[in-house]
Amino acid sequence: MEKKNATLLRTFIMTGFTHQPQWKIPLFLVFLVFYLITIVGNFGLISLIWNDPHLHIPMYYFLGCLAFVDTWLSSTVTPKLVVSFLAKSKIISLPECMTQCFSFVTSATTECFLLAAMAYDRYAAICKPLLYPVIMTSRLCMFLLVLSFIGGILHALIHEGFLLRLIYCNSNIIHHFYCDLIPLLKISCTDPSINFLILFIFSGSIQVFTILTVLVSYTLVLFTILKKKSVRGIKKAFSTCGAHLLSVCLYDGPLLFMYVRPASPQEDGQDMMDSLFYTVVIPVLNPVIYSLRNKQVIDSFTKLLKINIKIT
């Protein structure tokens, strides 16, 4: 009977922000603008790095990949969210839900690894400037980039595999605005204890590892900066590292709170706000954080803008 009932639940209904219908149009416009800025900002940054030979160094390769992953992460969630404000039906099929969940976990995990790799790159550049070309070779840079994406895919495959063991037979209402792991586990009629354990172990390990990498790297960077006598060098180093640290704190903070803690049915609203921050807000902020605080990016953009003005 359980399997028979489970076959009936091939679709889910996402409640999202539908409890406040008077805000549908304003929220639609806000998230649409956020998404357009995300696409333009991140692809603009990628294009700038691609076309300027002066930016063909590991630091900007990492930044370009981060922009790509931010676009991927936002595109996994935001278009469906934007459409949901105007669509009468809030239904999503099981295959579409599983695909969205896989895409989200992959992109979110990849971003964690990329932020850690960027921290190590800054450590090598600032703490060991003479050895930097030897340490951060093109081969190592590509290895870290590929490893970040492989880590994201493997992490998603693990959770996706454990999701497939679950049966949905009592409720198909997801109290969220996209198919995330925790909301799916909450509505399962199969005991999801093993899923929560796997989520805690793998997500916790990844976040602890990446956050520790960032903290250790920037602690060493801080000590190195304080030893410098050049005020200009200190300002430049703080500017670069400060932008990175701000991005890491804004991204990893809500993510850590969301997944490395016991789940509670009463915290759906808080979970949605946390998710909104790292799926919609952060992909908008990252290009701004890294571009406005990076003189080389600004100079490259200004140069490209002058060339285009002359052509027109």
Would you state the pLDDT for residue 266? Answer: 47
Instruction: Identify the domain containing residue 179 by its residue range.
Output: 2-311
Minimal CA–CA distance to 69: which of 23, 24, 112?
Answer: 112
**Residue keyed to tokens 């399997």:** 3
How much helix, strand and coil, in percent to the nearest 5, is found in the chain? 80, 5, 15
**In this structure, are residues 48 and 297 in contact, taking their beta carbons and an 8 Å threshold?**
yes
Q: What is the dihedral of CA 290, 296, 302, 308, to 10 degrees?
A: -100
Pairing state of beta strands 11-14 and 91-93?
antiparallel
Residue 295 identity: K
H/E stretch holding 11: strand 11-14
* CA 63 to chain centroid: 13
Write the single-letter amino acid at 91.
I
Contacts of range 92-95, beta carbons closer than 8 Å, 24 or more positions apart: 92/11, 92/12, 92/13, 92/14, 92/174, 92/179, 93/10, 93/11, 93/12, 94/9, 94/10, 94/11, 94/12, 94/168
The domain total for the chain is 1
Place of tokens 């099981």: 94
Whats the size of the chain, residue-wise? Answer: 312
Q: Are 248 and 214 in contact (CB under 8 A)?
A: yes
CATH number, position 184? 1.20.1070.10
Question: So what's the pLDDT on residue 108?
Answer: 94
pLDDT, averaged per 10 consecutive residues of the chain (312 residues), comes to: 51 77 84 94 90 87 94 94 83 90 96 94 90 92 96 96 86 86 87 91 92 90 77 69 77 77 58 83 85 73 68 60
So what's the pLDDT on residue 243?
72
Q: What is the pLDDT of residue 247?
A: 78
Residue 16: other Cβ atoms inside 10 A: 18
- Pull the structure tokens for residue 283: 């992909």
pLDDT of the residue at 311: 62
Supply the pLDDT for residue 76.
95
CA distance 143 to 137: 10
Stretch (H or E) spanning 190: none
Measured CA to CA, the distance from residue 218 to residue 230 in angstroms comes to 19
